[in-house]
Structure 1
Amino acid sequence: MIPSVLQNFLFPPAPSLFVTTKLMIDISLLTCAGYMESTGRHMQYSKFLNQGLTKKESEMKFSSRTGMLLFYTPAFLVGMSSFVVFPEQDFRFVLLATALTVHFLKRVLEVLFLHKYSGSVGLESAIVVTLSYTLSTVTMLYAQYLSEDFPNPSVDLKYVGVGLFLTGIIGNFYHHYLLANLRKEGDKEYKIPQGGLFDLVICPHYLFEILGYVGISCISQTVYASVFTLGTMFYLMGRSHATREWYLSKFGDKFPKEVKAFIPYVF
């Protein structure tokens, strides 16, 4: 059961052992992963490759471009396939499937045409992240499908969700664009990001990613989507804290101390 006040905003929990189990796994693992990031035990990709864990010399590694394509492409394909697997669904389902498909299509296009790379991705991290994105997308869509016979929540948030999703995806892209333009072609050195909300937080792209997921949760209004968004927020807060500490260690007094990790002026 969900608290009575939330019943105005959420569908009843999906009547599925799979969805319930996945919900409990996600909130536990994402929260744990966020804590591990904040304490220096990092997922092995980007600037944190071989940091915080025992270095695995024999572990297979992918180029960052290949690794990130592995991260996002299966989830994009799941989103696309949902229009065939679940035909003739209601407007809310179509909005959710569209938002998830656009979210991961944007990621794939950024990997191919925007991002500049300087590292690699460990096989273990590639598997974990790929499964997380893919299975969460499957579960979110399935939970929405199971909710079709329930009455809609009394407070309809789907159009608010569309606005938040678009704001999140545009803000995320803009700050990825700023990050990409920090480096000239062939340059692999890290620099202190500037412009946009980088003057206030070191990870505004994470902040807008969460805003996008909040939008997806409002479109969906299922318990699973809301819990997954909460877990993702915990993880990205831990990752952003670790990122700020990394910049402080690398750039020392050159890094502006007033720049927070994730939330302007707060954290």
Structure 2
Amino acid sequence: MVKVVVSSSRGTSLAPGLPYTVDLPDKTVDTATVADIKAAFAAKYPKFYASRQKLSSKGDKKGLSDDTTLATAGVSDGGELVVKDLGPQISWTTVFVIEYIGPLIVHPLVYNLPRVFYGGPVQHSLLQKFVYAQVILHFLKRELETLFVHRFSHGTMPFAYIFRNSFHYHVFGGVFLSYAVYSPTYDASSPYIQGTIRDDPRFLWACTAVWLWAELSNGLAHLTLRNLRPAGTKKRAIPYGYGFNLVSCPNYTFEIIGWTVLSIMTGSYAAWFFLFAGTYFMWMWAVKKHRNYKKEFGDKYPKRNILVPFIY
């Protein structure tokens, strides 16, 4: 049997009467985990569900992972943990579905309703048709991967973050990109298009071939990562195979290549901005993942670059 006192530095209406003593009759400090404490606490206060809780040792603001045992956390029988309300939560699957749905709504509207957005008709150039197809296929792929491929190590995130996370895709990848590339500047009669390489089917098909390779390679990398983690677990393992033998995060590498192709095809400031902004975030995520791999697996982790083969 083990007992743990759960307190809060701030009062919360979700759990009146704190501190509360959690009693785990079938556990010891060596077997009881943070997840067990969260579950027992949520049983007492159902509105304070487990994913909304952050438990930390007294005097330490860093949250404890769910699989940490009380003994590992330095909490003895009768010890104390501090709970913090993370706010309403939303599943990561729902987060990504909402993020990627923005461009899938905005691009068809701007492409098919030019009179509304530009005040007149737009005779779509071959370039615009290629770009439209690439954008729609890309985000449809991302939605399908979210629903059927990705397995997330964290089940939820604070609901308030959905607006911040969606801004990049809805505004930069949706509104800015679509308004720029489907405008009369890129239509069939534009001097920017007529008689240039951007009106040459050979150039457009060559770019599309590279783009398609990048998209398929990105999908294969996601499948590799999925197969490393059995359903319902948070297991982590070293990924190997296509792309992973060169860099730690080939999914980001292929993603960047795909958007680079689209940016070269159009030359649009909006496409380049979306690429640079996305690359910045993926670079930060890749550095963090590479560091975590090396920290977790040590000498077992093979020597690889982070994002760019043979360079970085």
TM-score, normalised with respect to structure 2: 0.63
**Structure 1 residues 113-165: Cα deviation after superposition (integer angstroms, max 9, x where no partner):** 11122312333442222111011222111112142344228443533431222
* Aligned with 1:94 (options 125, 129, 137): 129
Whether the 8 Å contact between 1:79 and 1:98 is mirrored in structure 2 is no
Cα distance in 2 for partners of 1:146, 1:191 equals: 50
Partner residue in 2 for 1:34: none
Partner residue in 2 for 1:74: 102
Whether the 8 Å contact between 1:161 and 1:214 is mirrored in structure 2 is no
Cα deviation for residue 70 of structure 1 reads: 1.6
**Structure 1 residues 28-64: Cα deviation after superposition (integer angstroms, max 9, x where no partner):** xxxxxxxxxxxxxxxxxxxxx99xx987733332112
2:178 corresponds to 1:141: yes
Structure 2 unaligned segments of length 5 or more: list them: 1-53, 56-60, 64-83, 115-121
* Aligned with 1:105 (options 112, 128, 140): 140
Q: Percent identity of the aligned residues?
A: 24
Cα distance in 2 for partners of 1:151, 1:164 equals: 23
Whether the 8 Å contact between 2:247 and 2:309 is mirrored in structure 1 is yes
| Partner SS, residue 191 of structure 1 | coil
Shift in CA distance, 147/172, structure 1 to aligned 2, threshold 3 Å: same
2:297 corresponds to 1:259: no
Structure 1 unaligned segments of length 5 or more: list them: 1-48
| Partner SS, residue 243 of structure 2 | helix
Partner residue in 2 for 1:118: 153
Whether the 8 Å contact between 1:116 and 1:180 is mirrored in structure 2 is yes
| Partner SS, residue 87 of structure 2 | coil
| Partner SS, residue 157 of structure 2 | strand
2:253 corresponds to 1:204: no
Q: Structure 2 matches for 1:154-165, cutoff 5 A?
A: 154-156=196-198, 157-165=203-211
Whether the 8 Å contact between 1:203 and 1:261 is mirrored in structure 2 is yes
Structure with the larger helix share: 1
Structure with the larger strand share: 2
Whether the 8 Å contact between 2:106 and 2:178 is mirrored in structure 1 is no
Cα distance in 1 for partners of 2:88, 2:191 equals: 47
Cα deviation for residue 88 of structure 1 reads: 4.3
Cα distance in 2 for partners of 1:121, 1:216 equals: 31
Could you tell me which amino acid in structure 1 is paired with residue 100 of structure 2? Y
Whether the 8 Å contact between 2:99 and 2:166 is mirrored in structure 1 is yes
Cα deviation for residue 180 of structure 1 reads: 0.9
Partner residue in 2 for 1:38: none
Could you tell me which amino acid in structure 1 is paired with residue 89 of structure 2? K
Cα deviation for residue 255 of structure 1 reads: 1.8
Partner residue in 1 for 2:234: 188
RMSD across aligned C-alpha pairs, in angstroms? 2.5
Cα distance in 2 for partners of 1:77, 1:260 equals: 37
Whether the 8 Å contact between 1:168 and 1:209 is mirrored in structure 2 is yes
Q: Which moved more, 1:164-173 or 1:247-256?
A: 247-256
Whether the 8 Å contact between 2:127 and 2:266 is mirrored in structure 1 is yes
* Aligned with 1:132 (options 160, 164, 168): 168
TM-score, normalised with respect to structure 1: 0.72
Q: Relative contact order: is structure 1 or structure 2 higher (C-alpha 8 Å, sep ≥ 6)?
A: 1
Corresponding residue pairs, total: 216
